[in-house]
Amino acid sequence: MNKPVLAFDVYGTLIDTAGIAAQLRENVGDRATAFAQLWREKQLEYTFRRGLMQRYEIFPECTRRALEYCCAALDAPLDDASCERLLAAYRVLPAYPDALTALAALQDAGRRMFAFSNGIREDIESLLGHAGIADYFEDIVSVDEIGTFKPNPDVYRHFLQRASAEAADAWLISGNPFDVIGALATGMRAAWVRRSPAAVFDPWEFEPTATITSLVELDTKIATA
């Protein structure tokens, strides 16, 4: 087997989307956590719908429309200025605490690492730069380059082409089960980051190659897989 190539999902794996709750508290008070969770769920739902309908819009547009939905569904109307501040905050969300330590160890081990995301390149550069982890990645691979979303198999094939990697040598690392399943269905290996003991992996015909509770476990799992 060739040297493993690691494709790191960004939102929900390296970057904590729940971090938007801190900004939301200024607008919706103690409903911030519930608002943030619904916003994330609706954001992903819109990418799934657009992928199936072949009506691609960039990820920030899905994020904007999901925000509009939450405002209506939760009866929390926000003015334009507040919405723009929230959308700007989505480009500087915090990294998970284990990201920096894990990426440094993986770099020391000589791993090839890519950021691989539904997000557009500009936003991923902003997120990784703000988190102080941009320099660990060989490149950013965005679904925007082919105009569809995960888990379309074309997205994972595009990653393999961009990384000059064979599926058997490539690992997708993600906290999102749908993403893990998408990679496995395309012949890649995949590590599911199960950050909460309450998280459930979808009962499909696929199981993660490895399940970890922290990114710091990843290098050992790859070495022993």
Enumerate the active-site residues.
Answer: 9
How many angstroms separate the CA atoms of 186 and 154, rounded?
9
* Joined tokens for residue 129: 């730069």
How many angstroms separate the CA atoms of 78 and 71, rounded?
7
Q: Which residues does 45 contact at the CB level (< 8 Å), separation at least 6?
A: 66
Residue type, 61: E
Short-list 189, 195, 200, CA closest to 159: 189
How many angstroms separate the CA atoms of 202 and 58, rounded?
26
- Could you identify the residue written with the tokens 């899905």? 62
Q: Under a CB-based contact definition with an 8 Å cutoff, are residues 209 and 192 in contact? A: no
* Joined tokens for residue 71: 């405002």
Question: Would you call 6 helix, strand, or coil by DSSP?
Answer: strand
How many angstroms separate the CA atoms of 198 and 188, rounded?
26
How many angstroms separate the CA atoms of 84 and 99, rounded?
28
How many angstroms separate the CA atoms of 169 and 187, rounded?
10
